[in-house]
Structure 1
Amino acid sequence: MIFWVLRWFLYFENAKKDLFHPVISPFYPTIAVALLVIAGGFIIIFHNILLAEIFWVLGSMLMVVFAFLIPFIMFTHENIEISHINPGWYIPPVGLIVIPIAGAFFEPLSTGVYKEIITITNFLGYGAGFFLYIALLAIIVYRLILHSPLPGTIAPTLWINLGPIGAGNIALINIVSKTSFISVKEPFYIFALVFWGFGLWWLVMSIIMTLRYIKRAELNYSMSWWAFIFPLGAYTASTHLISKTLHLEIINILGFGIFWLLFFIWCITFFKTVINIKNIFKG
């Protein structure tokens, strides 16, 4: 985040140009998403509620700003073409959906007005993020069907669709299990399972499409390969959570297989990135 802020001071025109770029601008909220993910890590791994809450508040505030800024730029942009549409546009909705993943843990620990603010923020994040995702899903599928295939350099973004599905299920289960006024939980869990099923279809389709790019030698390394990682990681985590919540062992076994797929892809992407960085310095 420090380097991101420094870029605005040292290279303001370049940062501003990227912010208004129809392909690059949706990636700006990744800064806020990172803060929210760190908040979740402090809760689950380190059990440090104070630091988790600090990162969550910062990430949520920044994400809400981007949730209005990026769509506003897209709505008022005069040069967006169908070729600009890509699954990277899911990132702002994903960021909103991630808010309640950690935020749900703070609701039962809070009181008074602050408790209500946390509750509203969680439901704002999930509600706005989920329905924006549904709207963008229709637009992106329209582009995939009626326009030329995605260029190989951004082909990995096909996997980003697993992000809102995986994060969405984790957020939903956390909200339902932690929010005090929700007493009937089973219908929400059933929806999470249905949503997870759509994610499994998209995972298989993403694998098939990626193999097609590999077969045609169109999947040369680029930084977009990291689009394989976070979405698949979110879906893997949601698979484990659903299996644990609904006591479905077969889903847990399937999730274990998806985890090894994630580990395999992460290793390849990591080593490719290291090699690319070394080549840049050598050059």
Structure 2
Amino acid sequence: MTDATLHQTEPRLAHFPVTFFATVMGLAGLTLALHLAETRFGWGHRASNLALWVTIVDFAALAVLYGIKALRHPGAIAGEWNHPVKLAFFPAISISLMLIATALRAEFGQAAVVVWSIGAAAQAVLFLAVLSGWIGRRPFQPMHISPAWFIPAVGNVVAPVAGVPLGFIELSWLFFATGLIFWIVLLTLVMNRLIFHDPLPGRLYPTLVILIAPPAVGFLAWLQLNGGQLDAFARILYYGSIAFAGIVAMQVPSLARLPFALSWWALSFPVAALTIATLRYGALAGSAGHDMLGGALLALLLAIVVGLIGRTMLAATRGEICQPE
């Protein structure tokens, strides 16, 4: 590498954002959705296995780059931690690990236990640290709140999806309870911001899709905790996610007019969570309609992820990402 290349690379590395880990969440969600669809419809597991390895490589590459950033540019990490929006994305790291563990569980059980344990420990620390950063440190304004603030709570609700079958029952209940309670609190704050204050800025507008994720993931976690019973609470969570999906669908014309940014990856994981929830609901209820809807959502998810990968690569070649904001 030449001196000129190093001179160009270092500043971009300093602006390598923690929001990049949202790509891992999206790819892991796609992996899980493909695996469930393959199991449900007897397609074989080639596509999900390929997606799993792509997800692992993506996480490993991002972890190395972000680790180098932490060593060379600790001030930039501190800047992200003190940022009212980017702070909420730090748990995307721990969520990614727990999602990878969920995908590993079927064929690599021991590895899944190790990865989930690391991810759950990191999630507990990050959840408490982010909440501590929100409370009592500095005044936040309504403009700082966005659906991205759900991410720490979503991480807690993700934990039982693999935690229960891996044997971490009580820990899974702890994560689920705290995640559910804080989702309700944050939902009130976010809806107040969306209704009574200025619209979200363009770069944050795609995070509206995150509204879908908490009830959809909550549905999947609840099924693990209650033994797979499609009870009243499970139905409330699932159809709540459908309602939020309808709200988000009404915003598609506005979303389509926005330029690309890394925040567009916020579309991927919520759609994956809804796809998995719909396929699970269809299997438990014996509903052909839900199976068809799950298949349609899977096709939409594939289109979203492929489009996001292509657009991210294009933005990278044009030098549009890892730039000062």
TM norm structure 1: 0.87
Q: Counterpart of 1:161?
A: 211
* Counterpart AA for 1:98: V
Matches of residues 97-246 of structure 1 in structure 2 within 5 Å? 97-107=157-167, 118-177=168-227, 185-186=229-230, 189-214=231-256, 217=257, 219-246=258-285
Q: Is the contact between residue 159 and residue 206 of structure 1 (CA under 8 Å) also seen in structure 2?
A: yes
The CA distance in 1 between the partners of 2:65 and 2:191, in whole Å, is 34
Number of corresponding residues = 259
Runs of 4+ in 1 over 6 A off after TM superposition: none
Aligned-residue offset at 1:76: 1.8
Greater relative CO (CA pairs within 8 A, separation 6+):
2
Work out which of the residue numbers 19, 37, 46 in structure 1 matches 2:99.
37
1:221 counterpart SS class: coil
Q: Deviation at 1:121? A: 0.8
**3-state DSSP of counterpart to 1:78:** coil
> Using the alignment, how far apart are the partners of 1:78 and 1:258 within structure 2?
41
**How far 1:86 moved relative to its partner?**
0.1
Q: 1:98-157: per-residue Cα shift (whole Å, max 9, x none)? A: 1111111122xxxxxxxxxx2221001111001111110111000000011111111110
> What is the CA deviation profile of residues 17-65 of structure 1, one whole-angstrom value per residue up to 9, with x for unaligned ones?
2112111100001110010011001013xx2110000000000000000
Amino acid at match of 1:36: M
Asked if 1:15 is matched to 2:77, the reply is yes
Counterpart of 1:206, as a letter, is V
1:50 aligns with 2:110: yes
Which residue does 1:63 correspond to in 2? 123
Q: Which secondary structure state, in structure 2, belongs to the residue aligned with residue 152 of structure 1?
A: coil
Aligned residue number for residue 247 of structure 1: 286
Instruction: Show structure 2 runs of 5+ residues with no match.
Output: 1-62
Provide the identity percentage: 24
TM-score calculated relative to the size of structure 2: 0.76
Query: After superposition, what is the alpha-carbon deviation per residue over 1:226-271, rounded to whole angstroms, capped at 9, x for unaligned?
Result: 0000111011111111211222221121111222222222222222
Aligned-partner Cα distance in 2 for 1:2–1:174 = 33
* Secondary structure class of the residue paired with 1:21: coil
Deviations 1:200-224 (A, max 9, x none): 111121121131343xx3x110000
**Partner in structure 2 of residue 265 of structure 1:** 304
Cα deviation, residue 158, structure 1: 0.5
